[in-house]
Amino acid sequence: MPDVFTSPTVLIQPETIPVTDPLPKRKHQPSEKMTPFATFCRFPEGVRFQNQEEGEDVHLVVRRHFITNIPWILTGIGFSLLPLVFFLFAPFFDSNSITISPIAILFLLLFYYLIIFGYLLVNYTTWFYHVGIVTNMRVLDIDIENISTKNVAATNISGIVDVEYSQGGILSNFFDFGNVNLQTEGLKPNFEFIKVPKPARVTDIISDLIAGRKSND
C-alpha cells in the first residue's frame, strides 16, 4: 500500500535543547572594575563568593551608599584632633598637678591614635564586606552588623516573588539611595539591601532576572 503521508525526519541536536538551569550566560556584557570605594558594580571583575557554583555569574554587587559613611569618618577626624586641642590648652592648667612621665604620655598618645585607627578600619571593613550580590542563579545578602556579627543569607532567583524599593528623606533623594526589598515565597525570610545606590536600577535588574528565569522555566 502506498504511503499517504510520511513525516519528515527531524534530528534534534543536543545544542538546541534549551537549558533550564542555570540561566543562559550573559552575552558580551562589559565587565566593570571594582574599586575599593565602589558601591554599585554591574558584572564586576574578580568578585567571587563561597559556594559559588559553576556557571554562576555575578551580575551585580551593591554596598551601602558611600555618603552613609560620613558620620564615622567625621567622628574619626574629630577624635584625632582632640589631643591637639588638649595640648593647645595644656599651658593654662597647673603643670605641677600632672606628674606622669613624658614617655608615658607618648605611649598614651600612641595608644589613643591606635584606637582611632582601629575604629576607622573596623568601620571601613564592615562597610566593605556588607554587600548584596545578585547572580544569574540567586541573590546573596551578606549583613555585617559589626565586626563580630555577620549574617549570610541566599535565595534562588525563582524563589523571589516581588521586588520593591523605598526612598525616604532629603539625603536619600538627593544622592539617589534607598532600600530594596525582596519578598520571598512562603516562610523564607525576606531580603533587604539597605541604603544602596540606584535602588530603581537594582530593582529593575532583579526583576529582569526573575522574568528571565520564569520564561526559562
Chain residues binding another protein by CB under 8 A are 33-38, 44-50, 97, 99-101, 103-104, 107-108, 110-111, 114-115, 117-118, 121-122, 124-125, 128-129, 131, 133, 142, 144, 147-148, 150, 152
Residue (123 or 136) nearer to another protein, CB: 123
Query: What are the Cα distances from residue 84, in Å, to 77, 81, 88?
Result: 12, 5, 6
DSSP state of 125: H
Quote the CA–CA distance of 194 and 181 in Å, as a whole number.
Answer: 8
Residue (41 or 210) nearer to another protein, CB: 41
CB 50 within 8 A of CB 58: no
Instruction: State the minimum distance, in angstroms, from the CB of residue 216 to another protein.
Output: 27
**CB within 8 A of 87, min separation 6: which ones?**
none
Instruction: State the minimum distance, in angstroms, from the CB of residue 23 to another protein.
Output: 22
Instruction: State the minimum distance, in angstroms, from the CB of residue 29 to another protein.
Output: 18
Residue (77 or 115) nearer to another protein, CB: 115
Residue (29 or 125) nearer to another protein, CB: 125
In sequence order, what are the beta bridge partners of 192? 181
Residue bearing cell 556588607: 130
Instruction: State the minimum distance, in angstroms, from the CB of residue 172 to another protein.
Output: 25
Quote the CA–CA distance of 122 and 70 in Å, as a whole number.
Answer: 14
